[in-house]
Amino acid sequence: MAVVGWILLGIVLLLLFLLLTILFLPIFYRIIIKMDETGPSVSIKVTWFFHLIRVLFDYPKPKKPIIKIAFFTLSEKKKKDKGEKPAETGKDSSNSDNTATEVSDVPLNEENSSKNILEENASTDHNSPEDSSDGSVVEEVNDKADEASSQESSRNEETISEEGNKKKQKKSLKETLEKLWDDFQYYKALWEDGSTKPFVKDALSRVLHLLKNLLPRKIKGYVLFGAESPDITGYVFGGYSVFKALYPRRFFLTLEPDFERKVLEGDLLIKGHFCVFTLLLDALRILFDKRLKLLRKKLDARKHPEQAAGDDFVKEKKRKRKPGSGKKRKAKAKQKDQTRNGNDHGDK
């Protein structure tokens, strides 16, 4: 039993060590970008656990990531199937022989039957009676009258259907506008609620903190940039100067604008690292916030009002039947009895 206990303790300690390393050991990344006339080339390297685990990705050369653990590489090897030959053609000759025998076995009675059918059709064509001219005129008049009545009925149906469609469109437009106005009023009241605004502000600050941890720590390089129009080049250079002023310790990039031609050349080196624990902490603080639960409940109540009404009814019942209400009543009754007994003794 002692040996089993020591083994279980060792497994637990090993799992705890792995969990702590995953949470607290930082993940480093390095990105090298080269831009010239031929096109951009990118090489990405991600390392973890003292560079024992590495992920490499190069573009446009292999276009697939390569995973390395210490001295071993985990990459898919392409298997080339050699020596595969098409199926044997010996069966084709046998199939052709079989088809030839099947064609020769067709009975000759079918030819005789087809001849008889043609003769019968010819005899019926010679013996068919001719229609009278008077009957054909009457039938033409009746057909024209039927066509005119059908056209009038179809026109009436079209006008009725068009009027009905117009009324339906007006009703649908009115309903959609009313629904949009109700939604606007509801979400406006929800935004002005006491718990929604502070939650959104806190969530945005958490997200910005998370992105700040993911941002690179150093950006070095030289870039020659020029757009089609000089206005865009000026806007890009202005954004670059603002970004450089905000992050002077991280930004070591020199951008040279070219206002005369369209060009993009240069070299970039981007380095950074992040810790899984800090990212998880910010994400969990957002997800497990009570104000987020309240906001979800309100949005669900908007989508499913019947379910929300049922929940409110249950809550009202629980409020009426508070736990310990019977005990309180009993305690009050005992106090009243004690006060009465004390008054009786005082009278005596």
Q: What is the pLDDT along the chain (348 residues), one digit of tens a residue?
A: 688 889 999 999 999 999 999 999 999 999 999 998 888 899 999 999 988 999 999 988 777 889 999 889 986 554 444 444 444 444 444 444 444 444 344 444 444 444 454 444 444 444 444 444 555 655 665 666 667 667 666 776 667 777 667 777 777 888 888 888 888 888 888 888 888 889 999 999 999 999 989 989 899 999 999 998 999 999 999 999 988 888 788 888 899 999 999 999 999 999 999 999 999 999 999 999 999 988 888 888 877 766 655 555 445 545 555 455 555 666 767 776 777 666 555 554
Q: Could you tell me the CA-to-CA distances from 98 to 78, 91, 106, 223 in Å, in that order?
A: 43, 11, 13, 75
Residues 6+ apart with CB under 8 A from 28: 46, 47, 48, 271, 272, 273
Rounded to whole angstroms, the Cα distance separating 213 from 21 reads 18
Q: How many Cα atoms occupy the beta-carbon half-sphere of 254 within 13 Å?
A: 2
Place of tokens 């930082």: 26
Rounded to whole angstroms, the Cα distance separating 202 from 287 reads 12
Rounded to whole angstroms, the Cα distance separating 41 from 62 reads 12
Report the interhelical angle of 196-214 vs 133-191 (nearest 10°). Answer: 90
H or E element that contains 336: helix 325-347
Q: Provide the residue ranges of all domains of the chain, joining segments of one domain with +.
A: 26-74, 196-287
Q: How many Cα atoms occupy the beta-carbon half-sphere of 180 within 13 Å?
A: 6
Residues 6+ apart with CB under 8 A from 59: 40, 41, 42, 43
pLDDT at 75: 65
Structure tokens at 26: 């930082």
Rounded to whole angstroms, the Cα distance separating 294 from 198 reads 13
pLDDT at 100: 41
What are the start-end ranges of the H helices in 58-108?
90-104
CA 15 to chain centre: 34
pLDDT at 225: 93
Q: In what order do the strands lie in the sheet with 263-274?
A: 72-74, 66-69, 53-59, 40-48, 27-35, 263-274, 218-226, 251-257
Place of tokens 């025998």: 101
pLDDT at 343: 59
Give the residue among 183, 208, 193 at the shortest CA–CA distance from 302. 183
Structure tokens at 192: 């002005």
Give the residue among 20, 92, 29 at the shortest CA–CA distance from 56. 29
